[in-house]
Amino acid sequence: MTRVLVLNGPNLNLLGTREPEIYGSTTLAEIEEGLRNRGRELGLEVETFQSNHEGVLIDRLHQRDFDWAIVNAGGLTHTSVALRDALLGIARPFVEVHLSDPSRREPFRNVNYLHDIAAEQVVGRGAAGYTMALELIARRAGGPRQDGHDRAESGRND
């Protein structure tokens, strides 16, 4: 069975109450429960993990007890070379998820240390983006990792 780690970074524990006009009203616990349920339907084992501390997230990745990851690094997306290096170092494919579309927000959010090493990206789809990421993994699990990444998002043309 393919094991999927869902890794959430700083402030994502506040989902549902933190800026709901940007991030929606769904809580992290609701997202996680939905992913575990959908994972069972897809034949995937889903484990979730959230921390507000960069080093703790890196330590969790270093355990390497998963086949794929879904990563919402939150603000660390724009600042953390160390998290990027950890993701490269563990050699596990991951889907980068963002509830909003960072490229449509403040200019500093256009810096993304993860996008070019992610197998896929899902941005701007709200809480549903996590489920989309899990379904992408289910389709790709067991197959060879492809170079580059696909980007699922709303309203943006690259």
State mean pLDDT over 121-129: 97
What is the pTM (predicted TM-score) of this model? 0.87
pLDDT tens string 3-52: 999 999 999 999 999 989 889 899 999 999 999 999 999 999 999 999 99
- Specify whether 23 is catalytic: yes
The one catalytic residue in 23, 78, 115, 130 is: 23
Q: From residue 91, give the alpha-carbon distance in Å to each of 46, 54, 82, 94, 110.
A: 19, 19, 14, 9, 25
Cα(73)–Cα(8) distance, rounded to whole angstroms? 6
The one catalytic residue in 53, 62, 98, 149 is: 98
Q: What is the dihedral of CA 80, 83, 86, 91, to 10 degrees?
A: -110
Domains plus CATH for the chain? 2-153 (3.40.50.9100)
- Specify whether 115 is catalytic: no
